[in-house]
Amino acid sequence: MKIKFALIAAMIVTLILCSCSQPEEYSMDIFAMDTYMSLMAYGRNSEKALEEAAEEIEKTEELLSVTRPDSEISQLNENGFLENPSDDMLYLVKTGVELNGEVDGAFDITLYPVIQAWGFTTESKNIPTEETLVGLLSDTGVERVHFENGITLDDNTKVDLGGIAKGYAGKKAADILKQYGITSALLNMGGNIQTIGAKPDGSSWKIGIKDPQNESSLVGSVEIIDKAVVTSGGYERFFIGDDGKRYHHIIDPKTGKPAENGIISATVIGDDGTLCDALSTSLYIMGTEKASEYLNAHSETNAILVTEDRTLYITRGIEPVFKPLNEYINTTINVIG
Ligand code: AMP
Ligand code: MG
């Protein structure tokens, strides 16, 4: 009897200890898509799940990297067609084309020749002449992409999915973690954050939004659960020209030049990381006025815009969970959407 009692007591203690101890946690750092990524997951199978999620990110990079000659996108650009595109490629090219109309042309996957001329995909940065840009822009436009037999491109047209690829990779990685039963994870992929569920204790993830003018500081933070938080900023990739000017990688399809329309950082928060990624790039390019108009007309999109005069525009849906920090504590917040 005494032994039985001792056994039951020991079992109860074990149970209490188990329920109080931290859940299994696994994290890994990888370098993919030109970015240092830090992946963290909690719960059973987190190690195996993260390893597979990382493989998925690398697989997406292999598919979409314009600098790898063997990638599917390079094949498309080199041959001008893909008879049997993978489901991923077809989905992304179609999404890119559809979004172009949604955002009044700001998001344009056919800008690749212009991006090449600036040298953003290689290490030979260059300021193209006005004449070069006008010439290259005449062969851009999503109407030059066709879907009759797989994917076909008009002559001289090339596509780049760099504005959407990381969001898509994050979403695919999140799907894998969910298949493994993971209910709590944080994937930090540079300017792209993908969360799965809440923190292990059930509370929200607190995600910092970088100050685009001071990378060691934050504009503020947002508290979210099971969402993607994607930021586009000119500070992420740029070079200083011989004229001393900064030239960044987010190109205005109207001019073929780095967008300078008042916004210096655009963050989109939502359920679909792919869409958040495309929209953050688009809002950045649209600039303060057009982006505010877009957000006022699309109350389902949540965003945080930082302008060059350090004003904040925050949509109604995200404002309650946004906390300004540092120099932005006393800034006027314009609530839109
Ligand atoms: P993101 O960091 O998501 O804003 O994406 C920037 C990347 O998207 C660039 O490095 C280019 O590869 C690509 N890109 C630049 N301008 C555009 C544009 N207007 N539309 C679509 N993609 C673009
Ligand atoms: Mg983007």
Give the pLDDT confidence of 245-266 residue by residue, as tens digits.
999 999 999 999 999 999 999 9
Ligand 1 and 306: CB distance under 6 A: no
CA 113 / ligand 1 centre spacing (Å): 12
CA-120 nearest atom, ligand 1: 10
The three-state secondary structure class of 11 is helix
CA-166 nearest atom, ligand 1: 3
**Predicted TM-score (pTM) of this structure:** 0.92
CA 278 / ligand 1 centre spacing (Å): 8
Is the per-residue pLDDT at 19 higher than 80? no
> Directed axis angle between helix 87-102 and helix 273-297, to 10°?
10
Ligand 1 and 232: CB distance under 6 A: yes
Residue 24: the pLDDT is: 87
Q: What is the largest CA-CA distance in the chain?
A: 94
Nearest 5°: CA angle at 256, between 299 and 76? 85
Average of pLDDT values for 299-321?
96
Ligand 1 and 256: CB distance under 6 A: no
Ligand 1 and 114: CB distance under 6 A: no
Residue 4: the pLDDT is: 52
Please state, rounded to an integer, the average pLDDT across all residues of the chain. Answer: 92
Please report which ligand is nearest the Cα atom of 66: 1
Which has more confidence, 202 or 19?
Answer: 202
Ligand 1 and 250: CB distance under 6 A: yes
Which has more confidence, 103 or 13?
Answer: 103
Give the pLDDT confidence of 264-295 residue by residue, as tens digits.
999 999 999 999 999 999 999 999 999 999 99
Find the range with the poorest average confidence among 8-17, 54-63, 123-132, 238-247.
Answer: 8-17
Average of pLDDT values for 159-167?
96
Residue 20: the pLDDT is: 46
Ligand 1 and 270: CB distance under 6 A: no
